[in-house]
Structure formats: structure tokens, C-alpha cells
Amino acid sequence: MTTFTGNNFGDTPVVAAQPDNYLTHGKTIGSWLFTLDHKRIGIMYLVTALLAFFIGGMLAEVIRTQLLVPQGLIFHGTGSVASSYAAYRYYNQVFTLHGIIMVFLVLIPIVPGALGNFAMPLMLGAKDVAFPKLNLISYYLYLVGAILAIVSTVLGAVDTGWTFYTPFSIQTESYVVVMVLGIFLVGFSSIFTGINFMVTIHKLRPPGMSWFRMPLFLWAIYSTSLIQVAATPVVGITFVLLMMERVMGIGIFNPALGGNPVLFQEFFWFYSHPAVYIMILPAMGIVSEIIPTFSRKHIFGYEFIALSSLAIALIGFLVWGHHIFVNGQSAELDAVFSFLTFIVAVPSAIKVWNWLATMYKGAIVLKTPMLYVLSFIVLFTIGGLTGVVLGALSEDVVLHDTYFVVGHFHYVMMGGTLIGFIAGMHYWWPKMFGRMYNETIAQWTCVVLFIGINLTFFPQLVVGAEGMPRRYASYLPVYQPYMIASTIGAYIQLVAFLTMAGYLMHSLFYGKKAPANPWGSGSLEWETASPPPHNNFETTPSVGDPYDYSDLVFDPAVNGYVHIEKPADSLAPVTATH
């Protein structure tokens, strides 16, 4: 038997109720601001990113309200072309900020930063991530980056679109340098988080947890980190070049100085396509945890799901050209990138089939996290398939820069990443805060959100296919019915999100106390109290198969799942002797 050694803090006798947990461990503000505890850092990410999500969401409502009428409801001119131009510039700023906030401050950091930080060391049975100080530095880089984004907005909001295409981003009279510097810092936060998590998974796995006995969320986090480490430096140097362009006139991307503006697009997408997998992979990891738990059935095709994450991470580096099919790329390259884009959809599909197979003949429990996962599967499938439509070269020539693209990436980013995150947040909420939310309201909210998302983005696919270009403040009257539907959808989403904020806040104060294992999950984070103590585990947990639910039964006395006598088989878990 292997021994899980070196636990300096595990000698404390087990106490039935732990009054001290990581939330109450220190009460001063400083104990939060300078904490090295991965759980607290996770909570700080959560709060910051949700705040950013609120701001980005309000901007989205502004966009949708503008598009209620063809000439624009909020920003429109007074008849002359010049006045329209002036007014529409505000619209450009609004959608630019919306995109930047949502991509760089919400979707990229939220799952690794908040849920990854909180759950990953617990799932490993470890006390912390490998480099706790670096972890805190990552958070502050993210925070300072976010503050710089706000500063640039106050000084003169960027109007380039979240893609910062040159040469316009060199010429525009807005504070591109400050914004780009902010994103540069957020990028380094992302790199450091990636390094930290990869090392943690390599070096802090407990004895007995081989690579193929890790929970799938960890595989997802690992693959994500790989992309973060390998792709983010490239966008870092790209943004440095863009800053140099504006500050010094270095000329690399400036056609007037002999530079090549399309080179910027190549660099940008070399990062930003892999970045879409930075966003989606951790969400897929969450789904892989929730589905077996709520199907009460072992995950189907563990190796396929695990390795498809790696496959996505690697192939994702080879498809960036599908964003520049029509921007001056040679026909031969176009064809190659189109082909590779088809290939990258395969591992995603493998995951979906394995999830479905896991649910097949399972005893499905439709609790909130599972409902969100089901809506993830539907929405992500629509998003992924529209992606394949766009990846087909001949179709993209028509659909590029139309609302179809907007519909596509919102289905994957909102329907995929964000819904996946929300599923994870509901799944780990009891663990994070030790409280249960109101299940009924939460389930209704999920349904309303599902309707809202489809109502918002499906019409966008339709108008896009009919030729409505993206990023315009006004449109032809024929599109108005679709635009109205889309806006109503956005309002419905707003209602759902506000409700969610309400019941989650409510649960913090009035929610029922959460048991250690409310859903009957098999991974290690559920072996400790909810919320966990400062040192994560009072007694060292024993490593077993994370998807084996045979010994977990519901105990009404604690209102959660407990282990019964384990059947002695060859997969007998490693027992702790400390």
C-alpha cells in the first residue's frame, strides 16, 4: 500500500463540525487581499470576473437596444451624414468594450481563475497550487489589467472592435495603448496561471492518482493551461508591437511605413483561435464532472474525453487561418485551413458522444447543474456546427463578417463557455460557500436563460445568412423583426441573470447549510467539509476512481451522500495512513 506522506497538518483529529473554515479563517481585509490560499484567490477571481460580466452585460443590452430600430434607437444622427458618423462612433465604442470585457476579462479567466483555483487543488487532495505567491500575482495582474481597461475607457474608449485590426487601430484617436497594455497584463496573468496549474498537476498529484485516474476537469484544466502557456506570449508580443506602432511608429504593421497590416491578423488569430479553446475546454471539463455525477453512472470513454482535450489543444493551433480566408490569404492556404478546421471539430464531437453515452440508461437526476449541462450540450452543438459551416471555405466567403459569425461565436461562447461556467458555479457553490441555493428558482432560471439565449442568437444566424453585416449601428428595415426578437431575447437573459444574482446572494445568508457531498460526486473535493477548512482536508482523503458511485448513498440525516463499506476489489483505493 502506498502511503500519502508528508501531511504536516493532517494530524488534527477529525471534528464532527468544523467551526473554522477558509472563509472565516482570517477576518481582516488584509487576510483576503494578501491571501495565498487558492480557495480565497478563486473567490476573488469569481467576484471580479462577475463584476466584469455585469458591466459587459449592460453594454450588451445597450447594443441590443440600439438595434431595435433600423436607424438606431440610442445613437443616431440628426439627418446629416456627419452627425450619423459622430453618433455611430459611440456604438463602435460600446461593442468594442463589450467584446473586450467579455473575452479578456470574463470568459478567458473565469473558469480557470475562479473554479480552477478553487477546485483543482482540492480535487488533487493537495493543500495548494504549486506556486501560491505566483497565483496571487496572477490575480493582481488580472486586476490591474482590468483597471487599465477602465482607465482607457474613461480617457477615450477604444473603437476598433475586440480584434484591434491594423491599420485602423494605429490611426484611431482612442486610447488603444492603455487598453492594449491592460490586455497584455491580463495575458501574463493567464500565462502564469497556466504554468502554475500545469506544474501543480504534474507534481502535486497524490500517490495513487495516475494520469488516467484524474478527474476529467483536471485534464481539461491541464490542456487549457497548455494553450495558455503556448499561445498567450504570441499575442503578448503582438500587442507590444501594436503599442510600439502607436508610440514610436515602428512600422511593422503600418502599410504607410512599408509594414504589413495582415501580419497583425495572422498574429492575432494565432493566439485568438487557440484562445477560444482556452474558453471552451474548461467548460467541457465541468460538463464531464457533472454528467456522470447526475447520471449516477461511470463516465463513458474516459480516455477519449481526456485525450480529446489534448487533441483540441494541439490541433487548435493549426486552424487560425479560417479567420482570414477572405483577407488576402492564398487560395492554397485557404483550402488547407478549411480542411484543418473540419478536423478540429472531431475531438469536440467525440466528447459530446461520450457524454451522451454516459447519460444513456443512467438514473438522471435533473438538478440545476445537470439542467445547465443539458442546455450546454444543445447550445454548444449548435455553435459547433455553425462553426463547421463557417469553416467550409466557400460558405465563409459569403458569411464572413456577417451576423452569422456573431451568432456562431455567441452560441459557443455564451451557450458553451458561460453556461458551462454557470453549471460549474452551481455545482461547486455548496462547496465554496457551505450553503444551498433554492433549487426550484434555480431550475426555472435555467429554463428562462435557455430560451433567452436561443431567442437572442438564433435570429442572428438567420439575418447573417441573409446578408446583414456585423458591427453596424444601423441596418436595412427588412431585418427589423429578427432584430426585435433578438433584443427581446437579450432582455429575457437580463431577467434570468438578475434572478440568478438574487437567489445566489440570498443563499449566502439564508440558504440551508450544505452537506459535504450534496450531489454524490466521487472526486476528492467532496471528501472535505463544505466549506473546506483552511488546510483543505482534516484527514487525508484516499484516492479512488472519481467516477465510481457504487459506495455512495444518500443519507437523509446529513441531507447528503456518504460512503458505505467499500467493496474490496482490485481497484481498492490507496489508503491514507497518516
Partner 1 sequence: MSEAIAINPTDEQVARAHLAHHFDTPQQQFDAGTLGMWMFLATEMLLFSGLFCAYAVFRATHPEVFKYAGQYLDPVSGLINALILLTSGLTMALAVRFAQTGKRVALSLCLALTMLGGVGFLAIHAKEYFDNGQAKLLWGTHYAPSVGPNGKPVAPITGLAALVAKPKPVASSGWHALKSLGKAGFVVSHSAIMPASIGPAGVAPAQKPAAVANAFQPANVQIFFGIYFLMTGLHSLHVIIGIIVIGWLLIRSLRGEFGPGYNAPVVYVGMYWGVVDMVWMFLFPLLYLIH
Contacts (Cβ under 8 Å, ≥6 apart) of 347:
308, 309, 311, 312, 315
* Residue whose beta carbon is closest to Cu ion: 273
The C-alpha cell 506556486 sits at 131
User: Residue 531: is the preceding peptide bond cis (ω within 30°)?
Assistant: yes
If binding is defined by CB under 6 A, does position 391 make contact with ligand HEM? Answer: yes
End-to-end C-alpha distance for the chain, whole angstroms: 13
The C-alpha cell 456585423 sits at 470
Q: Which is nearer to Cu ion, 123 or 284 (CB)?
A: 284
- Tell which one of 376, 409, 482, 561 touches ligand HEM (CB under 6 A): 409
Contacts (Cβ under 8 Å, ≥6 apart) of 509:
none
If binding is defined by CB under 6 A, does position 532 make contact with ligand HEM? Answer: no
Residue 271 has a CB neighbour count (10 Å cut-off) of 23
If binding is defined by CB under 8 A, does position 79 make contact with partner 1? Answer: no
Extract the runs of DSSP E, i.e. beta strands, from 296-417: none
Q: Which is nearer to Cu ion, 273 or 351 (CB)?
A: 273
- Contact present, 335 and 267 (Cβ < 8 Å): no
- Tell which one of 120, 136, 412, 436 touches ligand HEM (CB under 6 A): 412
Tell me the site size for Cu ion, rule CB under 5 A. Answer: 1
Measure the CA–CA gap between 536 and 75, rounded to whole angstroms.
52
User: Which range touches ligand HEM (CB under 6 A), out of 3-11, 26-34, 193-201, 384-392?
Assistant: 384-392
Q: Which is nearer to ligand HEM, 420 or 518 (CB)?
A: 420
Smallest gap from residue 336 Cβ to ligand HEM (A) = 13
Which does residue 387 touch among Cu ion, partner 1, ligand HEM, none (CB within 5 to 8 A, set by kind)? Answer: ligand HEM
Smallest gap from residue 7 Cβ to partner 1 (A) = 8
- Nearest in space to 308 (alpha carbons), one of 294, 324, 322, 287: 287
Smallest gap from residue 342 Cβ to partner 1 (A) = 26
What SS3 class is residue 163? coil
- Tell which one of 246, 296, 298, 512 touches partner 1 (CB under 8 A): 246
If binding is defined by CB under 6 A, does position 405 make contact with ligand HEM? Answer: yes
- Element spanning 553, H or E: strand 552-555
Tell me the site size for ligand HEM, rule CB under 6 A. Answer: 25
If binding is defined by CB under 8 A, does position 255 make contact with partner 1? Answer: yes
Residues 126-185 that bind ligand HEM (CB under 6 A): 163
Smallest gap from residue 417 Cβ to Cu ion (A) = 14
If binding is defined by CB under 5 A, does position 400 make contact with Cu ion? Answer: no
Smallest gap from residue 413 Cβ to Cu ion (A) = 12
Measure the CA–CA gap between 187 and 146, rounded to whole angstroms.
11
Q: Beta partners for 560?
A: 555
- Contact present, 227 and 277 (Cβ < 8 Å): yes
H-only helix segments in 317-438 = 331-359, 368-391, 393-399, 403-410, 419-433
Which does residue 448 touch among ligand HEM, partner 1, Cu ion, none (CB within 5 to 8 A, set by kind)? Answer: none
Contacts (Cβ under 8 Å, ≥6 apart) of 518:
430, 436, 530, 559, 560, 561
Residues 261-280 that bind Cu ion (CB under 5 A): 273
Measure the CA–CA gap between 540 and 138, rounded to whole angstroms.
28
Residues 308-367 that bind ligand HEM (CB under 6 A): 322-323, 341, 344-345, 348
The C-alpha cell 466521487 sits at 522
Smallest gap from residue 488 Cβ to partner 1 (A) = 37
If binding is defined by CB under 8 A, does position 314 make contact with partner 1? Answer: no
Q: Beta partners for 554?
A: 561
The letter for the amino acid at 561 is: Y
Residues 259-318 that bind ligand HEM (CB under 6 A): 276, 279-280
Smallest gap from residue 344 Cβ to Cu ion (A) = 9
User: Which range touches partner 1 (CB under 8 A), out of 11-19, 50-58, 193-201, 211-219?
Assistant: 193-201
- Element spanning 561, H or E: strand 560-563
Residue 501 cell numbers, joined: 444574482
Measure the CA–CA gap between 423 and 446, rounded to whole angstroms.
9
The answer for 361, left when phi > 0, alpha when psi is -120 to 50, beta otherwise, is left
Residues that bind partner 1 (CB under 8 A): 5-9, 121, 126-132, 134, 155-156, 167-168, 170-178, 191, 194-196, 198-200, 202-204, 229-230, 232-234, 236-238, 241, 244-252, 254-263, 267, 328
Residues that bind ligand HEM (CB under 6 A): 163, 276, 279-280, 322-323, 341, 344-345, 348, 384, 387-388, 390-391, 396, 399-400, 405, 408-409, 412-413, 416-417
